[in-house]
Structure 1
Amino acid sequence: MKVSFLKNRVTRTWMMGLCLLAAPAAQASSVRVLDPRLPTVKPTSPELEPETPVQRLVVKFHEGTRVRVRGGVLQVLSGERNLDERGRMARHGLSELKLYVDLLSALRVIVDVPRMGPPGRLFRQDELTLAERKRLAEERSGKEMADLDLYFEVPLKPGTIAADVNGLVTRLNALESVEIAYAEAATEPAWFGLDASGQAGTMSVGYEGMQGYLDEAPGGIDARYAWTVPGGTGTGVKIVDVEGAWNGSHEDLPRFFHAGGVQYNDTGWRNHGTAVMGVMVGQNNGYGVTGISHGAQVGHEGIAGQSIASAITRAALAVGKGGVVLLQLQAKGPRSTLDCTCNTSQCDEVPLEYWRANFDAIAQATASGVHVVEAAGNGSVNLDSPAYRGAFDRSVRDSGAIMVAAGTADTHAPMCWTNHGSRVDVQAWGEKVVTLGYGDLSSAGENRSYTGNFSGTSSAAPIVVGAVANLQGIANATGKGPLEPRALRALLRATGTPQASNTKQIGPMPNLRQAIPQLLGQ
């Protein structure tokens, strides 16, 4: 798009906006008193190292500004702004004139971005759905939620690195009407790596006896005990995994109730997603593995054709109140590690909620009663580091997600590469997890492949999902209904098997035998 053409479109947008100012504003019947949304701290310098691969530029305008895409162009819909939005905009001291000037400046910056197309909505759901989800989350939680339609993305050309856009991000963040702008690093699975060199096989065998994470504490989470309690296999609970790909044809997986988004056509992604599914819902059929929550329904939401934040909101809508969304991804954050000595290829990888759009999507999901389980990542970092500007300080902001670190299978000490810190809630096995995919344990083709070495926070997080789904299933079976996400998180922390003594905080490992009586009030 040429600059002159963009300027002409911006001028038309400006004139349309001035006309809209004269239109009668939509009046809210009443202004609700809600706990204010926590402010966003803009970075004052580039967050990502120059060589970091980035896939999109994200820009969010301040609450109440009512910036929208119309006719392929960003516009200010002042005439549609209600009293609540006016109040939110006023907090930032923004006038209509200032907002229009800043929007024009932002579009001029975007002209210089190495992009694949014009700016568009970051979240793919229609505007009415997002607005209704926001209203219900605020009504249920008593807290202000972000207007997700104020997020926009600029898709970047393949091969773009942070050095190409860091200066542009700084210019966008200098605009008063912009709440936050950032370059989103490319995501990858939160796994440690496998050597797929297993034995070929011609018939399926049972591996449940090798799934030590099913055992009673302190070795495992005592899943087998939960299975003896009504609802304790995750009965009636819906789970959606958010990541890259899955093999729905694997012999040991149930039929997916939800298949959203677009998958990557990549064996590595597919093995990863299949391994995750096996931990949670491998079928109880006498062969292969048995999933912790084999009575639950499971689905997936692919990220190949949408942002992570968009995938989170779609997954949350699919599972509903009392359902579980699993986030199995990590991405490069600011450099904070001084001594990353193991798993060096993933140094400084951090949890998804570091980026504000992901955080807002998670916060809305948990406020709506959805349990979100988030891999802490394998970046060898202390999430309490000043490099993250309080992004993982629970007293500053708390998405409501259950953040999961990785411990050793035997002593539950932190794996050398696991992220850690006060924001981490619980841990689970970060090594030696027996599940589906890869084929290092046995394989007679991709549909009958098994591994004994799934690892990383990618192996730990689905174990925690299993505990969450089983507890929610028991609550459903006993008439308690959907549990509050933060209450269930607190229950896991209070009843889990303590981590081994270590300066790195990764939290306890879930212990269902201890958690169930407390859930039932016994």
Structure 2
Amino acid sequence: MAMISDRSPPAEPLPADYRRRVVVKFRPGVSLPYSAAAADTLAEQQDGREWSALAAAYPGVALVPYFSSLPEAAVRDLDQRAPGTGKAATGFASYYAIETPAGAEPQRVAETVAAWPDVETAYVEAGPVPPPVNASDDPRNASQGYLDPAPAGIDARWAWLQTDGSAIGFVDLERGWTLNHEDLAAAGISIISGVSTDYHGHGTAVLGEVAAVDNTIGGVGIAPAVTARVVSQWRPGGSYNTAEAILSAVGVMAAGDVLLLEAQTSYPTAAGYVPVEVEQAVFDAIQYATSQGVVVVEAGGNGSVDLDAFQTSGGKRILNRGSPDFRDSGAIMVGAASSAAPHTRLGFSNFGSRIDCFAWGQNIDTTGDGWTGTATNTYTTSFGGTSGASPIITGAALLMQSWSVARGAGRYSPADLRTLLSNPALNTASANPAADRVGVMPDLRALITKGKRSPWWWGYVFAWAWLILVGGLLITPGGVLCIKCGRGAPGYIGDPVIFVLGAVAIGLGVAGLVNAAKAPRGP
């Protein structure tokens, strides 16, 4: 549930014709057409057993492609595009949805289908739940404290002296936006796919944190020059499909672009909302995105859930980094903390070893009303939740990518950027890391300064090179401690000692040059 002024506002009603579906993934080797004809083919392959029995028990039940708005060829091509990671192909074309008739209980259908021998997994999709809300000439900019220097904020104001988010793509995934808001319209934000349906004020608030235009009204986004787009979980035809929205976005993104998942989900074993990747299809889609080089930032969710203790219906602790069941999607997962430093985890935020970073989860000044409004000139000072924290981390990721490109070093990989942003030695710790368990908040000044070469870099290079030269003189046959003194001269200490000194000098010089070469260049 979203948080506005630290409270949970009422949820918007779902469409009257919306029904939760059963997600089915068939085992490798099961060959079905990716169309409405799949049910007939399945019945033939099963000799009329399982599917026919299900259809008899639930008249009107249908088996349809899960990624229904994507062309079949595009779905089957996804596994071919994945680089060699040592992992088996995901098999997105093995995902189907069972649409149940009115009055049927989806959970009972899922339990029946999960027992079929040719089914790998079957579960009820959680469906729509509320999103996880909780510059000097821009009049509201002074109120955007999350832009301030660490430990208060991420120090975006200093980072703007280095970069502004240009040359990097950003996509926000959620359910609705007001793209013609007065502080967003000039950004030219377009929708990739899906339908902008509900929670428009929420999406508008998220976009304002990241991409509000640097002009003379409103505030300014963390990465105001970024190329921004959006993709909706509400798909054409009225279905709700987070995994499909992810794949649709990744298909038009470049490696190094940043995809923000402004969503959370429910799960039968959890008392509160949990990250969307607990659903297998969504996990597969996120992992595919990161395998393509797309940086994914995922809201940790507002469920007050200890993710280390979370268990799937099968008893697996998939979000516990210390468990053998842990599975890593590659996403940067975000928790929420207080706006005041030292930052303390807010009670609604999920927590655990899977959380990589935290940011402000309250008192965020941004565009829109943060919830359902559609006005083009409204603002809020009370946006929050992991919905408010995740755009701050996204903005930090965008500025780091933009800075890296500007200095000619290329884009960070998803794994490298996650390592940087979650590095406890460089970033801001929470008030009590052992108790809060929400990672760290990025400090852009520390990250960028650490990434620059020292102004004395060339001096170090010459020093290491001179050490190699001296070592070469020492180990050369007839080598000497100095140009004028040699064997028999006063102070001569012997060839073996000289040789060792020369070898050590060369080794130190080579090691120094290698380390100097690894140091990143400044912008």
Question: Aligned to 2:420, which of 491, 504, 507?
Answer: 491
Paired positions, count: 419
* 1:394-409 paired onto structure 2 within 5 Å: 394=321, 396-409=326-339
- Indicate the residue corresponding to 1:259 in structure 2: 191
* 1:169-180 paired onto structure 2 within 5 Å: 169-180=110-121
2:257 paired with 1:323: yes
2:165 paired with 1:210: no
- SS of residue matched to 2:152: coil
- Given that 2:138 and 2:214 are in contact with CA atoms closer than 8 Å, whether structure 1 keeps it comes out as no
Distance (Å, rounded) in 2 between the aligned partners of 1:127 and 1:71 = 12
Q: Can you give the 5+ residue segments of structure 2 that lack an aligned partner in the other structure?
A: 1-17, 453-518
* 1:301-312 paired onto structure 2 within 5 Å: 301-305=231-235, 306=239, 307-312=241-246
Question: Aligned to 1:481, which of 410, 423, 427?
Answer: 410
Question: Aligned to 2:75, which of 123, 130, 137?
Answer: 130
Distance (Å, rounded) in 2 between the aligned partners of 1:264 and 1:156 = 26
Q: CA distance change for structure 1 residues 335 and 144 in 2, over 3 Å: closer, same or farther?
A: closer
Distance (Å, rounded) in 2 between the aligned partners of 1:380 and 1:499 = 17
**Distance apart, 1:117 and its partner CA:** 5.1
Report the residue type matching 1:216 in the other structure.
Answer: P
- The structure with the largest strand share of the pair is 1
2:209 paired with 1:273: no
Distance (Å, rounded) in 1 between the aligned partners of 2:48 and 2:352 = 38
Question: Aligned to 1:290, which of 217, 220, 225?
Answer: 220
- Given that 1:234 and 1:296 are in contact with CA atoms closer than 8 Å, whether structure 2 keeps it comes out as yes
Distance (Å, rounded) in 2 between the aligned partners of 1:107 and 1:427 = 50
Identity among equivalent positions (%) equals: 33
Q: CA distance change for structure 1 residues 265 and 166 in 2, over 3 Å: closer, same or farther?
A: closer
Report the residue type matching 1:148 in the other structure.
Answer: F
Distance (Å, rounded) in 1 between the aligned partners of 2:36 and 2:153 = 55
Question: Aligned to 1:219, which of 144, 152, 164?
Answer: 152
- Indicate the residue corresponding to 2:442 in structure 1: 510
Q: CA distance change for structure 1 residues 439 and 275 in 2, over 3 Å: closer, same or farther?
A: closer
- Indicate the residue corresponding to 1:235 in structure 2: 166
2:350 paired with 1:392: no
Q: CA distance change for structure 1 residues 70 and 119 in 2, over 3 Å: closer, same or farther?
A: closer
- Indicate the residue corresponding to 1:34 in structure 2: none
Q: CA distance change for structure 1 residues 304 and 102 in 2, over 3 Å: closer, same or farther?
A: farther
Question: Aligned to 2:97, which of 137, 153, 160?
Answer: 153
- Given that 1:369 and 1:482 are in contact with CA atoms closer than 8 Å, whether structure 2 keeps it comes out as no
Distance (Å, rounded) in 2 between the aligned partners of 1:111 and 1:325 = 43
- Indicate the residue corresponding to 1:165 in structure 2: 106
**Distance apart, 1:370 and its partner CA:** 0.2
- SS of residue matched to 1:380: coil
- Indicate the residue corresponding to 1:340 in structure 2: none
Normalised TM-score (structure 2): 0.74
**Distance apart, 1:476 and its partner CA:** 1.4
- Given that 2:430 and 2:436 are in contact with CA atoms closer than 8 Å, whether structure 1 keeps it comes out as no
Q: Can you give the 5+ residue segments of structure 1 that lack an aligned partner in the other structure?
A: 1-52, 78-96, 194-203, 338-347
Distance (Å, rounded) in 1 between the aligned partners of 2:427 and 2:78 = 33
**Distance apart, 1:107 and its partner CA:** 5.5
**Distance apart, 1:142 and its partner CA:** 4.0
Give the superposed CA RMSD.
Answer: 2.7
Distance (Å, rounded) in 1 between the aligned partners of 2:56 and 2:257 = 42
Q: CA distance change for structure 1 residues 476 and 499 in 2, over 3 Å: closer, same or farther?
A: same
Distance (Å, rounded) in 2 between the aligned partners of 1:145 and 1:190 = 31
Normalised TM-score (structure 1): 0.74
2:365 paired with 1:434: yes
Distance (Å, rounded) in 1 between the aligned partners of 2:435 and 2:171 = 33
- Indicate the residue corresponding to 1:43 in structure 2: none
Distance (Å, rounded) in 2 between the aligned partners of 1:71 and 1:451 = 46
Structure number with bigger Rg? 2
- Given that 1:349 and 1:379 are in contact with CA atoms closer than 8 Å, whether structure 2 keeps it comes out as yes
- Indicate the residue corresponding to 2:26 in structure 1: 61
Q: CA distance change for structure 1 residues 251 and 235 in 2, over 3 Å: closer, same or farther?
A: same
Which string of whole-angstrom CA distances, capped at 9 and with x for unpartnered residues, describes residues 226-269 of structure 1?
Answer: 1111xx21111111111111101101013445412333443xx1
- Indicate the residue corresponding to 1:471 in structure 2: 400
- Given that 2:39 and 2:63 are in contact with CA atoms closer than 8 Å, whether structure 1 keeps it comes out as no
- Given that 1:65 and 1:76 are in contact with CA atoms closer than 8 Å, whether structure 2 keeps it comes out as no
**Distance apart, 1:304 and its partner CA:** 1.5
Q: CA distance change for structure 1 residues 391 and 54 in 2, over 3 Å: closer, same or farther?
A: farther
Distance (Å, rounded) in 2 between the aligned partners of 1:192 and 1:469 = 21
2:367 paired with 1:423: no
Task: Report which stretch shifted further, 478-487 or 355-364.
Answer: 478-487
- Given that 2:299 and 2:335 are in contact with CA atoms closer than 8 Å, whether structure 1 keeps it comes out as yes
Distance (Å, rounded) in 1 between the aligned partners of 2:26 and 2:410 = 37
- SS of residue matched to 2:449: helix
- Given that 1:222 and 1:513 are in contact with CA atoms closer than 8 Å, whether structure 2 keeps it comes out as yes
**Distance apart, 1:435 and its partner CA:** 0.2
- Given that 1:114 and 1:157 are in contact with CA atoms closer than 8 Å, whether structure 2 keeps it comes out as yes
* 1:31-50 paired onto structure 2 within 5 Å: none
2:129 paired with 1:181: no
**Distance apart, 1:318 and its partner CA:** 2.2
**Distance apart, 1:391 and its partner CA:** 2.3
